[in-house]
C-alpha cells in the first residue's frame, strides 16, 4: 500500500520515519510537549474550550462535535469519569485508525491524555479491534513506555493529574464500534447497544460518566492543542449559514481509499475534497484504465454514490446531499464498471445480517430477510417485486425511522436504498435475465423446504 | 398533576406516578402491543412492537410538535404535556412490519403449541399483522431442548424478547439464561453445565409472550381455551401468593401467578406452582367413615351431620385442633359451633409445618418456611375465641392432663403431620372426629374419619405472614364423597342452603377487631389488616 500526501500532512507527518512508533522518535518531533504545556499552563476547562472552538467533529462516523460531547458530562460529579478510545475500527473499507495506531501510537496517546485531562477522566480504556495484532503490540508498547516515562500513572509529568490507561482487545464484532455496544463489551457483557437516554456521558462504563472518542479524533485533539483552534478552523468547509444545524467540517481528515483504484491507501487532506479529487489526484484513477461505476463514500454503511455523483464533497454534510447516510469514516471504496450491483448488495447484506447484534426485531429480521432475498435473486429466483420489498425493509429499519436502538441497521439500510434506487434498472435486468419465467410472479413464494418434526 | 394527551384523549398522571407510553395509553383506553416490555422487568426496548408517535404540547399555546420518528412506548416517559399517538397509519404500519418480521422465522405451529390461545404473537397477528405472508424464508426446524427440570425451550418459536433472561438476572437473581449467537441466529440458552433450576423458574413460562418456553409439567396436557382461570390464593407457604387456578371440569392443570402488588407482584415460586398435585392424589380420602368397635363403617354425609351433632352434644367437655389450612371463615364457624356446645372448649392451633428457612430474592419475592397459608388468620380467630393461643404441643399437654370427652381435629395437610405418639395421646379421648385430606395414624383410628377439602375447593380467606387478607371462591368442586369443611360447619350450625364465605366474613369483620378492615366485598388484591392495627381500631 502506498501512502502519499498532497498537502503538508499533519496527522500522518511522522509515519514514514524509522521506528516512528517509539517514544524516542516521537519525542524527537516535540512529542508530548503539547501535553506538558497544557498540563502546566491550562485548566481542563480551557482545553475543553479550545477543542470546542476548533469545531472538531468526531471522526468515528457520526461526526458529533467533540467539544460539545465533552460538555455533556455532569458537572461536579464525584467520579470516576471514564474515557474510552474507540479503536474498534470495523467499518468495511476503513483503516485510518490502524495506520495511526501502528505508525504513530504516541500521537494518539498524547491526544487521549489531553482528552482525559479536559474531561476529568482518571481512567482511559482503549478498545482495540481484535484483528489488529500490530496495533495491539505497538499500543501496548507505547503505553508501557509512557508509564516508564511518567506520562501515565500517578502524577503525569509531575502534575496533580493522574491517569491510568488500559488496552482492551475486542473479540471481533462490528457492533462493538457502536459506543454503547463498546461499553457493554468493555464491561464484559454481550455487545448489545444500550437504549438512550441515558447517554454514556451521563451513564456509561460501569454506570459512570463516560466519553467515547475515536482514535483519529484524539490525534486531532493533540494537534488542536499544539497549533490552536484557529489553525484547525482554517482548513475544511465552514458551516452553511443557511443551515443552522450544520456545524461545519473543519480540519484535516484521513481518507481511506480502496477498491478498484490504482493507488489505494490512506491519504490526508482537508475536509471537503471531492470524490473525484481523491480518486484521481491521490489514488491515481480507477485501476486498469476502466471507468468507475460507483463508490462508497465513507464505509459501506453510508450507501453508494454513482459515478456521476463523484463531485460530491467529502465533508460531514456532503454525501448526505447525494442521498447517502453521511460522511461516515471517509473510507472511499471504488467499484469499477465490471462490478455487479447485485453482488455488491448481496455482500453488503451478508455483512450486516452477520453483524446485527440481534436485539431489535426490525434489524435482526430485516437484515436476515434482505440477505435471504438477495440469495434467492442470485440463485435465479428473483422477482421484480422483491426490489420493492427490499426498499420497504430499507426504509423501515434504523434509528432514523425510529425502529431500532442503534444505527447499525441504518447502515444496513443505506446500501439497499442507494443500490436499488440508483441502479434499479441493473437489478431489473439481472432478475429478468436470470429468472425469465418467474420474474413477474407475485403470488406468495413457496417454501423451499419444510421440516417439521416434533 | 401532569396532563398527557393520548390520541386526543387527555389523561392525568399523579405526582408520584411514573408511567411510560404503554401505561399512559392503557389509562386512556388504548392497548399498545408489546413483547419485551413487562412491568416487573427492566426496559429492553428491543422488540419494537410498542412503537408509537410522540410529541410535546406547548403549555402556553397548546401547539403540538411531534417527533419525526417513531419511539418505543415502553421507553418513553409520560410527562406533563407529552403527546402520544398510538392509532395512526404510521404506527399501524410499524406494528405490521414488526409482526411480520417476527413471523419470518417462526414455525407457526400453533396447532401443536401449548401457547396457542394465549399467545401474544398469535393475537397481535390478527390485530396488527399483514394479511399475507411475504417472506419466503422457510426451512425452519422445530428444535427443542430442555433448559432445566421444569422448562423446555422451543427454539424456533422464540421472538427474542429476553424477558426470561431479564427475569433470571433481576428477579430470581440466578442468571442462568442468556442469549447465544448473534443476529437472526441468536437463541436463548443456558450456560453449559448450569441448567435453569432456580426456585422461581416456572415464571419464565408465564413471562414468555409466545410458545417458546414450555412448562414440562403442563406441556400438552390441556388446550388453554378449555380451561377456566379461577382466581385463588396459593396455600404453599405463608406468603399466600395470588394465583390463577386453571381448571377444566374440576381438574387443575396448572397454577399461574395473579398480579398483586401487595403480595407477590407477578410471580410465584415453583413449589407453589406445582403444589397442587395433592388435590388429585388417588390416596385422598373420599368416604366418611364411622369406626365402631374396631370396625370401619361407611356412612353417608346426609347422616353424618346429625350423628355428629348428637354425639357432641352428649359429650360434656370438648377440645378442638384448628388447622392453619382452614380459611378464616371455616375456623370461625368451627369455633362458633363448638362453643355453642361447650363454651370452654379447649382450642389449639394445628401443627405449623416448617421447612427450611425463609428465602428472599433480589426482585423482592419471598418464599416462607412456614408451609401453611393461614396461620395468622386462624390464630386471631382462636385468640378472640379463647383469649389465649395454644400451639399444638401446649394444646396436647392440656389435653393429656385433663382429658375431654370429645375432640375435633381439622387437618388439611398435604403430607404427614402427626406422629404415632401424638396420635395415641389424642386417641385416648373417647370421641375423636378427624377431617383430613389423607389417611394418618390419627385418622385411621378416629371415631369419625371425614374426608376434607383441598385449597382449591375451599372458599373464604387467608391471612398471610404480613397480615394481608385475601378472599377467594372455590375453583373446583371437591371429589365425590368430600364435603368441604365450610359446608360441614355451616350445616352443623343449622344454617340453611350453601356455605357463604362472604356472609361469614362480614360477621367476622364486625365481631373481631383484627379483621375490621375485611369488609366484603373485598378488592381482588385483598386488604391489609395492619392498617387497622396501627389505628388501634
A418-439: pLDDT as tens digits: 999 999 999 999 999 999 999 9
How many whole angstroms separate alpha carbon A386 and alpha carbon A382? 7
Across residues A94-120, what is the average pLDDT? Answer: 95
Closest partner CB to A359 (pick from B43, B46, B141):
B46
Whichever domain contains A417, its CATH number is: 1.20.1440.230
Greater confidence, B132 or A390? A390
Tell me: do A87 and A68 sit in the same domain. Answer: yes
Question: What does pLDDT average to over chain B?
Answer: 93
Give me the pLDDT at residue B79, please.
93
In contact, A186 and A63? CB cutoff 8 Å? no
CA distance B271 to chain A (A): 29
Which candidate in A180, A386, A399, A403 is best for mutational testing of the B interface (most B CBs within 10 A)?
A403
The count of other CB atoms within 10 Å of the CB of residue B533 is 14
- Tens of pLDDT, residue by residue over B366-395, are 999 999 999 999 999 999 988 889 999 999
The residue from A176, A205, A234 where one domain ends is: A234
Q: Does the beta-carbon distance from B183 to A355 stay under 8 Å? A: yes
Q: Dihedral sign for Cα B515, B517, B519, B524, please.
A: negative
How far CA A198 is from CA of A119, A182, A195, A207, in Å, comes to 18, 15, 7, 10
Does a structural domain hold residue A2? no
Q: Is B182 on the interface with A (CB under 8 A)?
A: yes
Q: In chain B, whose CA is at the least distance from the CA of A408?
A: B183
Q: Is A449 on the interface with B (CB under 8 A)?
A: yes
Does a structural domain hold residue A452? no
Tell me: do A53 and A190 sit in the same domain. Answer: yes
Tell me: do A40 and A161 sit in the same domain. Answer: yes
Q: Does the beta-carbon distance from B141 to A451 stay under 8 Å? A: yes
State the angle between helix axes of A105-119 and A44-54 in degrees (0 to 180), rounded to the nearest 10.
110
Q: Is B51 on the interface with A (CB under 8 A)?
A: yes
Q: Could you write out the three-class secondary structure of B444-491?
A: HCCCEEEECCCHHHCCEEEECCCCEEEEECCCCCCCCCCCCHHHHHHH
Across residues B179-186, what is the average pLDDT? Answer: 93
* Residues in chain A closer than 8 A to B47 (CB atoms): 360-361
Q: Model confidence at B532, in pLDDT bands (50, 70, 90)?
A: low
Tell me: do A355 and A312 sit in the same domain. Answer: no
How far CA A131 is from CA of A99, A394, B214, in Å, comes to 13, 29, 41
CATH number at B2-87 = 3.10.20.740
SS3 state at A421: helix
The HSE-up count of residue A397 (CA atoms within 13 Å, CB side) is: 38
Q: Is B210 on the interface with A (CB under 8 A)?
A: no
CA distance B102 to chain A (A): 7
Q: Does the beta-carbon distance from A446 to B44 stay under 8 Å? A: no
* Residues in chain B closer than 8 A to A365 (CB atoms): 101-102, 104-105, 184
Does a structural domain hold residue A382? yes
How many whole angstroms separate alpha carbon A21 and alpha carbon A135? 10
* Residues in chain B closer than 8 A to A404 (CB atoms): 48
* pLDDT above 60: residue B139: no
Closest partner CB to B70 (pick from A368, A401, A446):
A401
Q: Model confidence at B138, in pLDDT bands (50, 70, 90)?
A: low
Q: Report CA dihedral (A315, A316, A317, A318) to the nearest 10 degrees.
A: 30
How many whole angstroms separate alpha carbon B379 and alpha carbon A298? 76
Burial class (CB in 10 A: 0-12, 13-18, 19+), A215: buried
Runs of H (alpha helix) within A55-120:
66-71, 96-103, 105-119
How many whole angstroms separate alpha carbon B438 and alpha carbon B481? 13
Dump strand ranges (E) for B97-150: 144-146
Closest partner CB to B69 (pick from A401, A447, A449):
A401
Closest partner CB to A356 (pick from B49, B138, B182):
B182
Tell me: do A321 and A355 sit in the same domain. Answer: no
Tell me: do A179 and A92 sit in the same domain. Answer: yes
Closest partner CB to A364 (pick from B67, B135, B160):
B160
Q: In chain B, whose CA is at the least distance from the CA of A443?
A: B134
Q: Is A245 on the interface with B (CB under 8 A)?
A: no
Q: How many domains does chain A have?
A: 3
Closest partner CB to B137 (pick from A190, A372, A452):
A372
- Give ∠ CA A256-A260-A265 in degrees, rounded to 5: 25
The residue from A234, A261, A286 where one domain ends is: A234
Q: Is B89 on the interface with A (CB under 8 A)?
A: no
Domain ranges, ordered by start, for chain B: 2-87, 134-279, 289-456+475-499
* Residues in chain B closer than 8 A to A185 (CB atoms): none
* pLDDT above 50: residue A451: no
- Got the DSSP string for B159-176? ----HHHHHHHHTS----
* Residues in chain A closer than 8 A to B109 (CB atoms): 452, 454
Across residues B413-424, what is the average pLDDT? Answer: 93
Q: Does the beta-carbon distance from A447 to B139 stay under 8 Å? A: yes
Q: Does the beta-carbon distance from B139 to A369 stay under 8 Å? A: no
- Tens of pLDDT, residue by residue over A29-60, are 999 999 999 999 999 999 999 999 999 999 99
Q: Is B219 on the interface with A (CB under 8 A)?
A: no
Across residues B249-258, what is the average pLDDT? Answer: 96
Close Cβ partners of B144 (under 8 Å, ≥ 6 residues apart): A454, B152, B153, B154, B155, B214
Closest listed residue to residue A392, CA positions, set B72, B85, B96 = B96
Does a structural domain hold residue A141? yes
The fold of B289-456+475-499 is: Rossmann fold (3.40.50)
Across residues B426-431, what is the average pLDDT? Answer: 94
Q: Does the beta-carbon distance from A361 to B98 stay under 8 Å? A: yes
Give the three cell numbers for residue A33: 510537549
- Tens of pLDDT, residue by residue over B37-96, are 999 999 999 999 999 999 999 988 989 999 999 999 999 999 999 999 999 999 999 999
CA distance A55 to chain B (A): 27
Q: Does the beta-carbon distance from A402 to B47 stay under 8 Å? A: no
Q: Is B140 on the interface with A (CB under 8 A)?
A: yes
Q: Does the beta-carbon distance from A402 to B71 stay under 8 Å? A: yes
* Residues in chain A closer than 8 A to B139 (CB atoms): 447-451
- Tens of pLDDT, residue by residue over B299-334, are 999 999 999 999 999 998 999 999 999 999 999 999
Dihedral pair phi/psi, residue A453, rounded to 5°: -120, 120
The residue from A336, A355, A385 where one domain ends is: A336
Does a structural domain hold residue A10? no
Give Rg (Cα) of chain B: 27
Q: Is B66 on the interface with A (CB under 8 A)?
A: no
Give the A window 331-360 contacts with B, CB below 8 Å: 353-360
How many whole angstroms separate alpha carbon B100 and alpha carbon A369? 11
Close Cβ partners of B484 (under 8 Å, ≥ 6 residues apart): B452, B453, B457, B458, B459, B474, B478, B499
Give me the pLDDT at residue B140, please.
64
Residue A291's domain spans which residues?
249-336
Does a structural domain hold residue A421? yes
Tell me: do A218 and A288 sit in the same domain. Answer: no
* Residues in chain A closer than 8 A to B71 (CB atoms): 402
Across residues B512-535, what is the average pLDDT? Answer: 86
Q: Is B104 on the interface with A (CB under 8 A)?
A: yes
Q: Is B113 on the interface with A (CB under 8 A)?
A: no
Tell me: do A270 and A199 sit in the same domain. Answer: no
Q: What percent of chain A has pLDDT over 70?
A: 96
Does a structural domain hold residue A244? no
Tell me: do A35 and A127 sit in the same domain. Answer: yes
Q: Does the beta-carbon distance from A444 to B134 stay under 8 Å? A: yes
Tell me: do A374 and A389 sit in the same domain. Answer: yes
Give me the pLDDT at residue A446, please.
63
What is the DSSP code (8-state) at residue A278? I
Architecture in CATH of B134-279 = 2-Layer Sandwich (3.30)
CA distance B81 to chain A (A): 19
Tell me: do A149 and A275 sit in the same domain. Answer: no
Q: In chain B, whose CA is at the least distance from the CA of A451?
A: B141
* pLDDT above 70: residue A185: yes
How many whole angstroms separate alpha carbon B317 and alpha carbon A131? 89
Q: Does the beta-carbon distance from B139 to A448 stay under 8 Å? A: yes
Q: In chain A, whose CA is at the least distance from the CA of B131?
A: A444
* Residues in chain B closer than 8 A to A402 (CB atoms): 51, 67, 69-71
- Tens of pLDDT, residue by residue over B27-37, are 999 999 999 99
- Tens of pLDDT, residue by residue over A277-296, are 999 999 999 999 999 999 99
Give me the pLDDT at residue A454, please.
40
Does a structural domain hold residue A197? yes
Give the three cell numbers for residue A41: 499552563
* Residues in chain B closer than 8 A to A188 (CB atoms): none
Give me the pLDDT at residue A452, please.
42
Dihedral pair phi/psi, residue B525, rounded to 5°: -85, 0
Q: Is B159 on the interface with A (CB under 8 A)?
A: yes
How many whole angstroms separate alpha carbon A359 and alpha carbon B48? 10
Give the A window 148-187 contacts with B, CB below 8 Å: 173
Close Cβ partners of B282 (under 8 Å, ≥ 6 residues apart): none
* Residues in chain B closer than 8 A to A369 (CB atoms): 101, 104, 135, 137
Q: Does the beta-carbon distance from B135 to A369 stay under 8 Å? A: yes
Tell me: do A228 and A254 sit in the same domain. Answer: no
Q: Does the beta-carbon distance from A368 to B183 stay under 8 Å? A: yes
Whichever domain contains A129, its CATH number is: 3.40.50.11540
* pLDDT above 80: residue A447: no
Q: Is B94 on the interface with A (CB under 8 A)?
A: yes
Amino acid at each position: 500500500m502506498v501512502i502519499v500526501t498532497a498537502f503538508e500532512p499533519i496527522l500522518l507527518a511522522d509515519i514514514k520515519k524509522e521506528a516512528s512508533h517509539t517514544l524516542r522518535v516521537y519525542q524527537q518531533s516535540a512529542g508530548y510537549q503539547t501535553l506538558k504545556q497544557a498540563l502546566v499552563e491550562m485548566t481542563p476547562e480551557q482545553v475543553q474550550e479550545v477543542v470546542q472552538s476548533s469545531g472538531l467533529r468526531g471522526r468515528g462516523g457520526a461526526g458529533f462535535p467533540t467539544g460539545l460531547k465533552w460538555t455533556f458530562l455532569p458537572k461536579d460529579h464525584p467520579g470516576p469519569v471514564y474515557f474510552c478510545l474507540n479503536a474498534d475500527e470495523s467499518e468495511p473499507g476503513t483503516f485510518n485508525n490502524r495506520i495511526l495506531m501502528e505508525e504513530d501510537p504516541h500521537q494518539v496517546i498524547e491526544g487521549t491524555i489531553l482528552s482525559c485531562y479536559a474531561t476529568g477522566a482518571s481512567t482511559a480504556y482503549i478498545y482495540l479491534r481484535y484483528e489488529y495484532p500490530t496495533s495491539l503490540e505497538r499500543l501496548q508498547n507505547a503505553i508501557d513506555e509512557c508509564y516508564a516515562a511518567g506520562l501515565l500513572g500517578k502524577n503525569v509529568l509531575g502534575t496533580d493529574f493522574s491517569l491510568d490507561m488500559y488496552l482492551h482487545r475486542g473479540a471481533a464484532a462490528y457492533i462493538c464500534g457502536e459506543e454503547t455496544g463498546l461499553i457493554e463489551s468493555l464491561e464484559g457483557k454481550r455487545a448489545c447497544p444500550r437504549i438512550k437516554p441515558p447517554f454514556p456521558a451521563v451513564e456509561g462504563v460501569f454506570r459512570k460518566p463516560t466519553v467515547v472518542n475515536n482514535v483519529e479524533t484524539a490525534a486531532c485533539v493533540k494537534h488542536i492543542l499544539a497549533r490552536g483552534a484557529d489553525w484547525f478552523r482554517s482548513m475544511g468547509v465552514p458551516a452553511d449559514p443557511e443551515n443552522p444545524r450544520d456545524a461545519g467540517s473543519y480540519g484535516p481528515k484521513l481518507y481511506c481509499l480502496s477498491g478498484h483504484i490504482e493507488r489505494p491507501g490512506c491519504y490526508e487532506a482537508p475536509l471537503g475534497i471531492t470524490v473525484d479529487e481523491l480518486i484521481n489526484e491521490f489514488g491515481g484513477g480507477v485501476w486498469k484504465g476502466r471507468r468507475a461505476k460507483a463508490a462508497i463514500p465513507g464505509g459501506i454503511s453510508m450507501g453508494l454514490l454513482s459515478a456521476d455523483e463523484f463531485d460530491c464533497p467529502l465533508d460531514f454534510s456532503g454525501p448526505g446531499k447525494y442521498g447517502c447516510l453521511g460522511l461516515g469514516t471517509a473510507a472511499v471504496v471504488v467499484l469499477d464498471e465490471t462490478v455487479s450491483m447485485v453482488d455488491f448488495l448481496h455482500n453488503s447484506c451478508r455483512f450486516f445480517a452477520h453483524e446485527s447484534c440481534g436485539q431489535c426485531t426490525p434489524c435482526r429480521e430485516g437484515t436476515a430477510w434482505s440477505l435471504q432475498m438477495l440469495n434467492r435473486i442470485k440463485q435465479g429466483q428473483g422477482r421484480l417485486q422483491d426490489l420493492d420489498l427490499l426498499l420497504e425493509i430499507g426504509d423501515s429499519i434504523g434509528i432514523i425511522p425510529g425502529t431500532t436502538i442503534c444505527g447499525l441497521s441504518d447502515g444496513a439500510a443505506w446500501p439497499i436504498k442507494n443500490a436499488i434506487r440508483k441502479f434499479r434498472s441493473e437489478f431489473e435486468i439481472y432478475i429478468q435475465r436470470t429468472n425469465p419465467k418467474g420474474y413477474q410472479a407475485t403470488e406468495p413464494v413457496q417454501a423451499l423446504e419444510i421440516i417439521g418434526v416434533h | 398533576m401532569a396532563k398527557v394527551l393520548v390520541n386526543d384523549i387527555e389523561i392525568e398522571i399523579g405526582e408520584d406516578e411514573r408511567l411510560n407510553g404503554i401505561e399512559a395509553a392503557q389509562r386512556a383506553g388504548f392497548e399498545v402491543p408489546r413483547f419485551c416490555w413487562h412491568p416487573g422487568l427492566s426496559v429492553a426496548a428491543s422488540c419494537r412492537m410498542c412503537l408509537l408517535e410522540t410529541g410535546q404540547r406547548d403549555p402556553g399555546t397548546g401547539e403540538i410538535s411531534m417527533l419525526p420518528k417513531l419511539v418505543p412506548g415502553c421507553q418513553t416517559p409520560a410527562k406533563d404535556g407529552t403527546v402520544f399517538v398510538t392509532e395512526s397509519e404510521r404506527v399501524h404500519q410499524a406494528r405490521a412490519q414488526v409482526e411480520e418480521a417476527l413471523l419470518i422465522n417462526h414455525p407457526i405451529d400453533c396447532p401443536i403449541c401449548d401457547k396457542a390461545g394465549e399467545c401474544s404473537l398469535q393475537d397481535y397477528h390478527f390485530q396488527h399483522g399483514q394479511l399475507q405472508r411475504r417472506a419466503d424464508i422457510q426451512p425452519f426446524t422445530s428444535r427443542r431442548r430442555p433448559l432445566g427440570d421444569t422448562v423446555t425451550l422451543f427454539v424456533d418459536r422464540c421472538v427474542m424478547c429476553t424477558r426470561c433472561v431479564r427475569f433470571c438476572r433481576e428477579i430470581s437473581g440466578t442468571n442462568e439464561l442468556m442469549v447465544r449467537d448473534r443476529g437472526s441466529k441468536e437463541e436463548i440458552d443456558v450456560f453449559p453445565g448450569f441448567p435453569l433450576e432456580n426456585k422461581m423458574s416456572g415464571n419464565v413460562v408465564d413471562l414468555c409472550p409466545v410458545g417458546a418456553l414450555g412448562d414440562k409439567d403442563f406441556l400438552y396436557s390441556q388446550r388453554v381455551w378449555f380451561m377456566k382461570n379461577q382466581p385463588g390464593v396459593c396455600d404453599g407457604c405463608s406468603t399466600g401468593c395470588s394465583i390463577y387456578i386453571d381448571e377444566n371440569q374440576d381438574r387443575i392443570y396448572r397454577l399461574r401467578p395473579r398480579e398483586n402488588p401487595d403480595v407477590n407482584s407477578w410471580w410465584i415460586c415453583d413449589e407453589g406452582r406445582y403444589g397442587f398435585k395433592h388435590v388429585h392424589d388417588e390416596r385422598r380420602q373420599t368416604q366418611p367413615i364411622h369406626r365402631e368397635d374396631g370396625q370401619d363403617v361407611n356412612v353417608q354425609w346426609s347422616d353424618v351431620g346429625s350423628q355428629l351433632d348428637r354425639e357432641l352434644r352428649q359429650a360434656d367437655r370438648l377440645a378442638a385442633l384448628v388447622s392453619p389450612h382452614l380459611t378464616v371463615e371455616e375456623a370461625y364457624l368451627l369455633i362458633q359451633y363448638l362453643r355453642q356446645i361447650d363454651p370452654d372448649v379447649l382450642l389449639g392451633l394445628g401443627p405449623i409445618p416448617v421447612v427450611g428457612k425463609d428465602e428472599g430474592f433480589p426482585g423482592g419475592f419471598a418464599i416462607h418456611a412456614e408451609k401453611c397459608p393461614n396461620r395468622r388468620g386462624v390464630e386471631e380467630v382462636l385468640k378472640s375465641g379463647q383469649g389465649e393461643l395454644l400451639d399444638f404441643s401446649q394444646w396436647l399437654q392440656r389435653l393429656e392432663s385433663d382429658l375431654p370427652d370429645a375432640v375435633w381435629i381439622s387437618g388439611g395437610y398435604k403430607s404427614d403431620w402427626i406422629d404415632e405418639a401424638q396420635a395415641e395421646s389424642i386417641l385416648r379421648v373417647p370421641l375423636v372426629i378427624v377431617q383430613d385430606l389423607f389417611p394418618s395414624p390419627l385418622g385411621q383410628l378416629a371415631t369419625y374419619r371425614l374426608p376434607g377439602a383441598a385449597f382449591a375447593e375451599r372458599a373464604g380467606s387467608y391471612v398471610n405472614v404480613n397480615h394481608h387478607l385475601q378472599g377467594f371462591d372455590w375453583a373446583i368442586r371437591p371429589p365425590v364423597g368430600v364435603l368441604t369443611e365450610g359446608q360441614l360447619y355451616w350445616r352443623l350450625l343449622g344454617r340453611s342452603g350453601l356455605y357463604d364465605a362472604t356472609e361469614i366474613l362480614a360477621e367476622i369483620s364486625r365481631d373481631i377487631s383484627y379483621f375490621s378492615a375485611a369488609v366484603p366485598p373485598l378488592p381482588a388484591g385483598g386488604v391489609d389488616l395492619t392498617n387497622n392495627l396501627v389505628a388501634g381500631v
